Amino acid sequence: MKAVGYFVEGARRAGAKRSIGDQNQAFLDFCTRQGFEVSATFLDTDAPGQPGFRQMLQFLQRDDRGFTVVVVDSLGVLGNDLGQAAMKLLTIENCGVQVLLANNGREAAREMVTAWADRGDGTPVSEKVRSAMRRKAVRGEVLGRPPYGYRVGPRRRLELVPEEAVVVRYIFRLYLQEGMGIRKIAGQLNEEKVLTRRGGRWSMVTVRDLLRNRSYLGTYQRFGVKVPGSHSALVSADDFRLVQERLQTHHGGQRERTVTPFLLSGLVFCGRCGNKMIGVSRRQRWTTKDGVARAAAYRYYQCESRTNQNACNYNTQRTAELEAKLREALAEDAPAVSRVRRAGNVDSYLLDVMGQVDKVEARMKRTRRQVEELVGDAAHGHISVERMRSLGGGLAREQEGLAAELALARERLLAQQSEAERRRHLQDLQKRLAREWDGLEFNELQAGLRELIDRVEVDGPEMKLFLRL
């Protein structure tokens, strides 16, 4: 069996700093005792980005690494606090390898769970807060925003909002008794000038989520706690069950769905109503006159007002045709591009990117809190260590993706250091996208288009392209 050593300058074991030499000697002693073959070692200092850790992950993802374990001197090598260490540990183990401690050979995951159980106060996740929220949920007290149709009463219980309750019952009746689909229901509510709680228009998503909300049965559910009869019901159990069965049938039961993203999501707008065009996929099956079964998939951009709110006219663009037209527009010389206009909204783009950085950082913090909660649940026996690893692996993958997204957003900010540099950068980017369109990875191509293009307006065969140049 092979062993990989990972060292971090200044990492602590039992409160004492350990030099790289000490960590390396402990690693070699471990390999001698256990009969492991030294495969590779990786080192991180105080340099930003943890290059040693990144190099180790790349090594662990190689097909020829063989049966390998990662050995660290202590949990302190993985992070200065248990939350950080947990995320790093799960990221390593997500590569299909186990992390062991050099001094005692124990699994780092189990050692971490033990340390978490013994950690005391001042930890990243407060069990007192979680317990208090669970106790409130058991009493049926509202945590967070109440669902449409209810408000928070004096005793923190849900109570009816009469004018909203009428709308909830109306939506269930339209869906169950009159057989209307969720898109048509959204359209009818909008035609009748019925507004959402925030004063907006109804969409397929808001109608669907309302029909799925079990709060309308009079049951309050939060933190895995169910409190039947905690408030007034707006729909009977039989009607709610029939609605769920119809929703499930409409969406094909347990059919696996393969979600393929759309390249121009967020960039294309309807030239008629100004709303976004969203990606739509349709699959059709039919039988020819000769009895041969056929199937085809269609992808196109359609006005969101039409799709989700049953408003606007029928404005649909085939995906391949619109993307090809956009590529041709980018490849043309500036004088020949009659419909390419300057957006003149550079500041909004910078604010956009800065907002994106903030959002990604917030999502990374949220993912880390979820990892901490998993380790806390394992420490208190609510889940097994194996279950913690299984669930935590998905969170670790998500965190890695967010880290890459954050790095890309920060690179875009650096590219906007001056107006002249910004213009040269965007001009070079336009030429590169047009030239290398087919050879670029989807994520790289989409990120480049979002950086270069302010918006694309389409109305039938007409296309207006607004660049950030």
pLDDT digits (tens, 9 = 90+) for 20-50: 999 999 999 999 999 999 999 999 987 677 8
Which one is predicted more confidently, 223 or 54?
54
- Tell which CATH architecture fits domain 134-250: Alpha-Beta Complex (3.90)
pLDDT over threshold 60, residue 343:
no
Whether 212 contacts 127, CB under 8 Å:
no
pLDDT over threshold 60, residue 78:
yes
DSSP symbols for 297-320 = EEEEEEEHHHHHHS-S---EEEHH
Q: What is the pLDDT of residues 105-163, one digit of tens each?
A: 999 999 999 888 776 544 444 455 555 555 665 566 777 788 999 998 887 888 999 99
Can you list the alpha helix ranges (DSSP code H) found in 14-97?
20-34, 51-60, 82-93
Query: What is the average pLDDT value for the chain, to the nearest integer?
Result: 83
Selection from 68-77, 227-236, 253-262, 408-417 with the highest mean pLDDT: 68-77
Q: What is the pLDDT of residues 51-62, one digit of tens each?
A: 899 999 999 988
Copy the structure tokens of residue 145. Answer: 């925003």
Residues near 6 by Cβ (< 8 Å), separated by ≥ 6? 41, 42, 43, 44, 52, 53, 56, 70, 71, 72, 77
pLDDT at residue 416, as a whole number: 63
Closest residue by Cα to residue 73 from 96, 104, 38: 104
Q: Tell whether pTM > 0.85.
A: no
The CA-CA-CA angle for residues 122, 127, 129, to 5°, reads 100
Closest residue by Cα to residue 13 from 80, 61, 68: 80
- Mean pLDDT of the 392-400 span: 89
pLDDT band, very low/low/confident/very high, at 358 (cuts 50, 70, 90): confident
Domain ranges of the chain: 2-117, 134-250, 336-467
Question: How many Å is the Cα radius of gyration of the chain?
Answer: 28
Amino acid at 429: L
Q: Right CATH number for 2-117 from 3.40.50.1390, 3.40.190.10, 1.10.645.10, 3.30.70.20?
A: 3.40.50.1390
pLDDT over threshold 70, residue 344:
no
Copy the structure tokens of residue 410. Answer: 């920060």
Copy the structure tokens of residue 170. Answer: 């109306």
pLDDT band, very low/low/confident/very high, at 256 (cuts 50, 70, 90): very low
E strand or H helix that includes residue 239: helix 237-250
Chain centroid offset of residue 461 CA:
34
pLDDT at residue 290, as a whole number: 83
| Cα separation values, 325 from 190, 414, 462, 463, Å | 34, 30, 10, 8
Nearest-10 Cα torsion for 187, 189, 192, 195 = -120
Copy the structure tokens of residue 469. Answer: 């140049």
Selection from 151-160, 234-243, 312-321, 408-417 with the highest mean pLDDT: 234-243
* CA 203 – CA 185 distance, rounded (Å): 9
pLDDT at residue 194, as a whole number: 93
